[in-house]
Structure formats: C-alpha cells, structure tokens
Homo-oligomer: A and B are copies of this chain.
C-alpha cells in the first residue's frame, strides 16, 4: 500500500475526489443507517434530516472551520463559521433555528482576538436572527494547534411548501442551473493574502449568510435542488450533483460570473476560479419555466445581484459535467482531486 493511501493527506480534507473516497471507504459503511430521516449520512448532502417522533423533519448540518489566516479580506473565521453553517441549512431549504459553537483554542491565543472573532460570529447570527444555544471550549497546548478551530452545528426546519428539506440531486433533464453570483471570490482572496504570496488585490471573500436571498425562492416552492459550492468550488459541487442525480450538467463558460480580480489572480496563480471555494454563493436547479421568476427574486438583494443561469441538465453524458468553452468548444469539467487551497475554510 502506498504512503498516499494509508495516511491522511491534505487532499483528504479538500472537498474533491480524495475526500469523497475517504468518506466512502473509511466512514460511511461503518455506521448503520438506522431510523434516520430521508436524507441520511450516505447521501453526503450539505446536511441531513432527522425525524423527530410525532414532530416532523428537522435539518441538521455540522462544519469545522480551520481557515488560515484567521482574518482575511472580507471576513474572519467567526463570520465564516456562522455563515458556512447557515448556508448548509439554507441550501437544504431550511430556516435556521439554532446554532452551536465548539471552540478549540491554542494556549496563548489573545482573548482580544477571540472577542473580535466572536463578534463576527454574533453579527452573522444577528443578520439572520438565529440564536446560539450551546457550546463547548477546549484548550490545546502551545504548538498542539495552529491558533484556533471552530465547529458549528446548525439545526433548522424546512421552509418548503411541503415541509420537506431540499436535496442536491433530485432534478431531471431539462432543468436549469443557476448561480447566485460571482464564482471563486473566497478561494482566490484567501490565496492572495497567504504569506507565501501576499498579493495586492481588492478582491474580498464573498462570505455571507444566504438565507435572506434563498428564503423567498424556497417558500415559493420553485427550487428543485440546491448546493453551496464550497471546497472544490463549482467544479466539485456540479460533479457531485451530476453523479448523484445520474444526469449530465452542461454549463456555458462565458455565462459564469467571475470578477476581473479573481480572473487576474487565477491567471497569475494557475488555479481555476471554478475549483476554489465560495462562501456566499449557491447553485440552484429550477424548472425551465421558473428561471426568470427565480432570477428576479434573487437579484432584489445585493447578495443575489449577479445571479444568472449558467446551464442546464441533459442526458448526454450521465454523471458528468460538460463545459461549453465558446466558439464550439466543449470539454468535461472534471471533479477536482481537491480544493487547491489548503485550509480554505
């Protein structure tokens, strides 16, 4: 057995092919699928549903955040942890009910900096009016943890018309694929500010809670599937959706909104904006007839101002993603091995 296979590598946590393999080969099979809800562990969705006896369906999601650096252009680990968890609920069509906060701190971490991080975390909860209900604090010795890690679990209830959570794969041929805004901002902004590059750029992370723009379209019952393209970016999320649904997703490169600053960094660093994490964007799949209505709704809010349709669901190459590159060119958009930026979130 090669060394790559019997030990954890950076790509095992990078949201692509290798993380998927880790979960399928080492995690999922070990846990019996008991009386969970409709969307359980093996769905590998943004979260899961749990049936509460006589009380219906809850949506639950959990995320640890180890982003480096702790503060970055456009946000910090506190804002990221809160928004990331709210977004995982939001893309399942769930109104956030409550969040938990698990802090792991390195000895010597400045309490003043912790205060700033918690203020950022709290500000996001204020934006979406969600309570923090409980937490946990652990401390590791000097050199045992690189500063801080934050886990957040979110609990929500589906705000859909039928009270059922929205998955990321229940769509069919003919449906359209939308994104709520520009792609690649978080990953490229993080990459640029890393010590090894320290590039000058005005690009900021897009980290933001999406429930305010997703709630109206969820309540209207016009969303077929949703997913937030975090680690591994749009490429990973679309491949995941194509594989799970057994369909082909075809997108048009020219229609994907990418900020000029993100494209510039991409050209400089040789990293595709489609393969890096977004932290304030969602992919929506809707029926063709609903596209205009959904885009109009999303664009009302600044967070959805650049929402656009980027492609459609076909039956051409099941479980694959096709990228139309213009002037008649087409290629597969592959599942990345993992996000090229370590500790991106």
Asked if B36 contacts A131 (CB within 8 A), the reply is yes
- Report the nearest B residue to A153, measured CB to CB: B153
Asked if B37 contacts A133 (CB within 8 A), the reply is yes
Tell me the chain A residues, 24-83 only, with Cβ under 8 Å from chain B: 26-27, 30-37, 40-41, 45, 47-50, 52-53, 55-56, 58, 60-66
Binds B, one of A139-147, A246-254, A302-310: A139-147
> How would residues 119 to 159 of chain A score, 1 for a CB under 8 Å from any chain B CB and 0 otherwise?
10010011001111111111111011110010101010100
Asked if B111 contacts A26 (CB within 8 A), the reply is yes
Q: How many residues of A contact B (CB 8 A)?
A: 88
Q: How far is the CB of A326 from chain B (nearest CB, A)?
A: 36
Asked if A104 contacts B36 (CB within 8 A), the reply is no
A98 and B63 alpha carbons, distance in the complex (Å): 16
Residues of B within 8 A of A58 (CB): 52, 58, 155
Residues of B within 8 A of A40 (CB): 131, 133
Residues of B within 8 A of A97 (CB): 50, 52
A31 and B129 alpha carbons, distance in the complex (Å): 11
Binds B, one of A1-9, A195-203, A206-214: A1-9
Asked if A63 contacts B136 (CB within 8 A), the reply is yes
For A98, A129, A149, the residue with the greatest tally of chain B CB atoms inside 10 Å of its CB is: A98
Q: How far is the CB of A132 from chain B (nearest CB, A)?
A: 4
Residues of B within 8 A of A155 (CB): 50, 58, 60, 155
- Report the nearest B residue to A126, measured CB to CB: B32
A79 and B47 alpha carbons, distance in the complex (Å): 23
Residues of B within 8 A of A5 (CB): 111
A146 and B27 alpha carbons, distance in the complex (Å): 21
Asked if B7 contacts A111 (CB within 8 A), the reply is yes
For A22, A55, A137, the residue with the greatest tally of chain B CB atoms inside 10 Å of its CB is: A137
Asked if B105 contacts A36 (CB within 8 A), the reply is no
A125 and B33 alpha carbons, distance in the complex (Å): 11
Asked if A102 contacts B62 (CB within 8 A), the reply is yes
Out of B19, B32, B47, B131, name the residue touching A34 (CB < 8 Å).
B131
Out of B12, B23, B52, B151, name the residue touching A102 (CB < 8 Å).
B151
- Report the nearest B residue to A64, measured CB to CB: B102
Out of B33, B49, B111, B342, name the residue touching A8 (CB < 8 Å).
B111
Measured CB to CB, the residues of A under 8 A from B are: 5-14, 19, 22-23, 26-27, 30-37, 40-41, 45, 47-50, 52-53, 55-56, 58, 60-66, 97-98, 100-112, 114-115, 118-119, 122, 125-126, 129-141, 143-146, 149, 151, 153, 155, 157, 342-343
